[in-house]
A and B are shown apart, each in its own frame.
Chain A
């Protein structure tokens, strides 16, 4: 029955995929093959996968490294760095890319900052928190007993780290890495600004060139196939990795901290370097835009209404995302099996689609199926839910997996009604996950741009669309307040995520 709800949710999320398939079939196979079997498509696909691989590896290194340092060592200022390491989540990739170009030009006005490696750098710095947050939470929550056994058997701290600790948090690394890889495949902002011809950019080019939507949609189906490959690959590693749930009773103990001794300051320096690159560069560029430009600054009323709109559509989007994610996440955690795995994996598919493709598909869907909702905030919220579903599913599934199902069984055996069990036991136990999922979905909605541009009600502006309007006519000064406000507001849910993760040392998870 939960299965039914989950099926329904995943069906809603797959609407854009269905639309793509219909259009591809309508286009006729001859045109599809003509469009796909070209050197260009192959090289763009190769570059996209390469970028996804590099960015994922970079994020795993930065994410796991920072998480380990702030949760398991005596690095100076670890709580401070623990918060800083999560904050890049609040910065949209297009803002980061603009900031980097602007910063590079500050140093050398003639330098052209473009291509694969600059794109990789910007994307790594924007998305390593996707790995850092779950890994840090897992490190805080992991049972120290296994490590102690390893140490007592004579293994050194580093061998214990590699052999025991990393394996304990492997599921968290895999989940975060998968999100990073999917995000990289779908990102348009950063790659277009630093000019790397990835698959997503190829799709945008097809769209921009003479209203040829079919070509863009056909190309999107390739992106879906790449995603299926990626998901299948991740599933294989997941099946091999064992589970490391804590068993038995007893109070949860905080893990022991590794003494870095002489390495303390270099480690802190490394964390500071990452924070400087990920947060300092955008901060410097934004301040410069504020000071230098003389373009008309947005009036207070405009800024206020954009802020209110952003908050409202993001809250709506996050709510709807969670509504769809709950049955899928609970199903994945409570009745593991082939079918629930497939459903959970399917919910990841649209995440790799560029926002513009999801936006376009919902424009059509709105015009032909749900016309009363066309250009209403509800259709926009649906787009957000489709795009960001995996973020919420992951959070719910992780929380539900930690809540022992025995509690529910006991409650029911004692005669409690199912609804009461759900309300009094399941919901409170998964509440942290629901909160985390909501926060993550909310801040991602705040940053979303292409689908927002296509689907927002006529006349409605958000912080992201205002920002885009101004940068489109090189008015960086006018764009600066919107960018700053966007980052500051998105930092609030990010901070909530950090404090929930236990990195701050309160509550222990």
Chain B
């Protein structure tokens, strides 16, 4: 009784297992071509925490110019960092491109990056690289207060992000507490003003009936449509939405406001790159890192994503306020790696 079914099922199962095995072997074949003398294999794997829409044209440009194939895995920056930490030394990745210094710091802390060569480190200002020289910034992005011009008068805008806890801002401020860039900003506040002042600020925002969103993009969408009056986001979202809508950004209802006088609200964070252990010897990887920091690579970011360049010779995007005119807080990005504590504080405040 039942033997027939078992046999049929077993046959199917065995067939399935064989297929799995065959696929596994087939997968191995890809790596057969051994490395050339300079460690180059003609391809490498990149984990990108940056959105595919923003970065893919650049990668295509790189591939067609160098003939090197880049296998890219896209995801959220935090998600990619967590996956790298899970994978450890078995990670298939050679390069990690992240949207924020905190994620690079976390992977760096786990000792998974190779130190970068001096020629690379010389190109990027020291303020925008890892303390161990194992990651560098590729672009700069400023935190801003985005506001709806029709709902908020310019004279009403606060001098400091600390003012947003005051009663006149009740119910009017959009925040994305689970988002990495908000967390990096809160960490910066802790670095600049200490844990007590930061805890007070978080509690004040939480009590002020904030408009909580998942992503920066949603905050910007809602500010632009007038559903929220102001919101804490990064500067380039406005320019992306303007491009999506085909409107010059000056004509959008939403506008960016850069906090003055070194206020934490104007933190200048980076998107950056780290090379995973053992891959720095790979000539292809090196070519890629150099390309991102080349005039051509940097110009791509300023033109396509409206971010600040890291390399002195490249001009900042015309639509942005001059970097020299911005009064960003003086914070060492390496100090933004105490993310765990920040997360605990955000959770305790009830914001997330």
Contacts and interface: CB of A to CB of B under 8 A. Distances in A.
Interface of A: 1-5, 8, 105, 109-112, 192, 195, 204-205, 207-213, 293-296, 320, 323, 326-327, 330, 335, 363-364, 367, 371-378, 417-423, 426, 453-454, 458-459, 469-470, 472-478
B330 to A, nearest CB: 25
B178 A473 contact: no
Contact of B240 (A192, A209, A423, A473): A473
B217 A212 contact: no
Interface of B: 2-10, 12-13, 16, 20, 23-25, 27-28, 45, 51-54, 71-76, 78-79, 81-83, 85-88, 90, 92, 106, 178-180, 183, 212-215, 217, 220-222, 225-227, 240-241, 243-246, 339-340, 342-343, 346-347, 352
Nearest to B75: A453
Main secondary structure of the interface of B (DSSP, over half): helix
Interface centre among B3, B8, B352, by most chain A C-beta atoms within 10 angstroms, is B8
Given A109-B226, A459-B72, A454 B241 contact: no
Contact of B4 (A374, A422, A474): A422
Contacts of B245: 293-294
B10 A5 contact: yes
B221 A474 contact: yes
Given A367-B86, A469-B74, A210 B340 contact: yes
Contacts of A195: 212-214
B92 A375 contact: yes
Contacts of A418: 2-5, 7
Given A1-B3, A419-B7, A473 B217 contact: yes
B85 A474 contact: no
B214 A192 contact: yes
Nearest to B222: A112
B73 A459 contact: yes
Given A418-B3, A459-B72, A295 B244 contact: yes
Given A205-B352, A474-B241, A372 B92 contact: no
A80 B225 CA distance: 39
Contacts of B73: 375, 458-459
Contacts of B45: 458
A111 B222 CA distance: 10
B195 to A, nearest CB: 16
B5 A1 contact: yes
B27 A472 contact: no
B58 to A, nearest CB: 14
B288 to A, nearest CB: 15
A367 B88 CA distance: 9
A111 to B, nearest CB: 8
12 contacts: A1-B3, A110-B226, A207-B79, A208-B76, A208-B78, A209-B178, A293-B244, A294-B246, A327-B9, A374-B90, A469-B74, A472-B217
B53 A470 contact: yes
Contacts of A211: 78, 81-82, 85, 106, 339
Nearest to B54: A473
A422 B16 contact: no
B192 to A, nearest CB: 20
A458 B71 contact: yes
A503 B243 CA distance: 48
A474 B9 contact: no
A472 B214 contact: no
A372 B28 contact: yes
Nearest to B93: A458
Contact of B86 (A192, A327, A364): A364
Contact of B51 (A293, A323, A472): A472
